[in-house]
Copies of this chain bind each other. A is one copy, B any other.
Amino acid sequence: MNKRILLAAAAALALPLPVLAQTAAPDPAALRDAALKDDVAWDITEGLTTEVGQRLAATEAEARAREWGAKKLKALGFQNVRIETFKMPLWVRGEEQAEVLGGSAQKLVIAALGNSGSTGPKGVEGEIVYFPTMADLQMAPEGSLKGKIAFVSHSMTATQDGSQYGAFGAARRSGPSTAASKGAIAILIRSIGTDYHRNPHTGVTNWPKDMKPIAAAALSVPDAEQLERLLKRGPVRMKLLITPEFKGEAESGNVIGEVPGSDPAAGIVVVGGHLDSWDLGTGAIDDASGVAITTAAAKRIMDAGQPRR
């Protein structure tokens, strides 16, 4: 997801101040302890996710989120609050249907990956070619996926530090372009995540310049496991209807508020998070809470007295 910055605050962190400074340097530990007792970050997270909800980058909803953010920064006392817009490509989700054909006909639950191509309104049909890992897909011979639908399962497991997300995310980020380069008409990947509900995990996929995007979607974890079970019984043909659209350049933007420092020559400190979210949820974690925590931190610094930077 492209990042939109809610807050770019010129805020001093707790640096040694000259002896003549009128206010004592704030104690970082005291700032931290006080921050844990206020509701600023919670209010921002709850408000943004409730009042705006989903806010896919460059959509009307993200524009509402910018207005919401600017109003909130003003209300919190930040100065020079403003919105700086820019253009970016707009990708919008369409229909999403996946169906196993033949004697075990059944629907599976999918979500198109961000930047997925379209199957067109009639959908595509093809045989599934199973790749347990991303490395297996990479080793598939050139042209071997012609007319086929690739399926990369590549199941990650839960770890306390979330470290598998980066590694297994390769199937989402570059699996589609790899499959397309070998002739696949579409690709399904197992959701990058370990939740066992039927809400597939979206997220961006990348295409080399000049490559025509193919349809690319994630299966929820139980649906990916269902497809694996079916493939153990024999060949599987599927029909996919995935119709997202690239709508050209549209307006996105940053929301900026400042805490002016006492020494303009000392530079600025930027803290921020990204305001936009995916369209399948309200982005409480990705990244309303990040926006909220950084805003609350900047407000704490502001309220502790004018910083130098």
Contacts and interface: CB of A to CB of B under 8 A. Distances in A.
B53 A103 contact: no
A271 interface: no
Contact of A50 (B104, B195, B198, B282): B104
Contacts of A197: 195, 197-199
B282 A226 contact: yes
Contact of A106 (B54, B100, B103, B199): B54
A199 B281 CA distance: 12
Interface string A260-290: 0000000000000000000101100000000
Interface size, A (range): 20 to 34
Given A199-B198, A281-B198, A106 B52 contact: yes
B50 A226 contact: yes
Nearest to A279: B107
Contact of A104 (B52, B106, B229, B230): B52
A53 B104 contact: yes
Interface in A285-306: none
A105 interface: yes
A46 interface: yes
